[in-house]
Amino acid sequence: VSAALKGPHAELVEPLLPDDDSLFVVKARHSAFYQTPLEYLLQQHGIGHIVLCGQATEQCVLYSALDAHIRHLEVTVLRDAVAHIHADLAEAALRMMERNMGARLTDVDDMRW
């Protein structure tokens, strides 16, 4: 975050800054769950529903959704807050998440926080 704040578009980063008490995991692979303490942190805080956004829909978002699903977590994917490499694969990934994993697909403006 500090490097992004020093970059050429710091004004885009500032509104996204987390609170001081926010928890972080370093995601080094496709899934947010792979070799991270995410599952443990979610359990410790009684969280059973995750909301996914980011890139790439047909890779990281899909794999994180699958790993959440097999851990019996509810999944919501923000359709207008994900990016893709291949549009056709992204559409297929969204359909898979919805149909095979029971993920809820919605837009940011329709999300009830």
Smallest CA-to-CA distance from 50 within 93, 83, 18, 97 is with: 97
Q: Check if the beta carbon of residue 78 is closer than 8 Å to that of residue 52.
A: yes
pLDDT for 13: 85
Share of the chain above pLDDT 90, in %: 73
Quickly name the fold that domain 2-110 has. Rossmann fold (3.40.50)
For residue 70, what pLDDT is reported? 98
Predicted pLDDT at 113: 76
Domain boundaries, the chain: 2-110
Query: What's the whole-model pTM score?
Result: 0.84
In this prediction, residue 15 carries a pLDDT of 84
Using the predicted structure, report yes or no on whether residue 1 has a pLDDT greater than 80.
no
